Amino acid sequence: MPKPRQPRIGVDCIIRVRGRIVLIERRNPPLGWALPGGLVDEGETVTAAVRREMREETGLELDNLELFGVYSEPGRDPRGDCISVVFTADGKGTVRAGDDAQNIRLVTLDELAELTLAFDHRQILSDYAARSAKERRSG
């Protein structure tokens, strides 16, 4: 009997820099703007993976790293099933496009409507905006 296929595990991060969110323009399909992220390597924790991926893709170190949520809807990645552990953090350093990013930009949540976002990142950022608004109301 063949071994069942397992989903890949990835990490994404909502990085805040000067009141804006870091997005990368993907160099490889699926194209579009996305949260920076990547796959967890064997023997690596998700925390180590998100710090490594953010350095590689954005040049930033992360402060105030917090778990935001886990996104696991089948089909969220057209390349195959992938569970994403999503974090939030404050970016420290100079923002630069690296690794799989052909471009990088800082956006406000209001600017997202005009962008084509890859994967389920529009949903993730919508959830982030809703949670941020709720925290502002209660805080």
> What average pLDDT is seen over the chain?
95
Q: What is the mean pLDDT of residues 43-55?
A: 98
Cβ atoms of residues 116 and 29 within 8 Å: no
Question: What residue ranges do the domains of the chain occupy?
Answer: 8-138
Those residues whose C-beta lies under 8 Å from the C-beta of residue 122, and which sit 6 or more positions away, are 112
Q: Is the pLDDT of residue 125 over 90?
A: yes
Question: Which class does domain 8-138 fall in?
Answer: alpha beta
6 three-state secondary structure: coil
Cβ atoms of residues 89 and 46 within 8 Å: no
Provide the whole-model pTM: 0.95
Q: What is the pLDDT of residues 75-107, one digit of tens each?
A: 999 999 999 999 999 999 999 998 778 999 999
**Amino acid occupying residue 13:** C
pLDDT the model gives residue 109: 94
pLDDT the model gives residue 5: 86
Cβ atoms of residues 46 and 15 within 8 Å: no
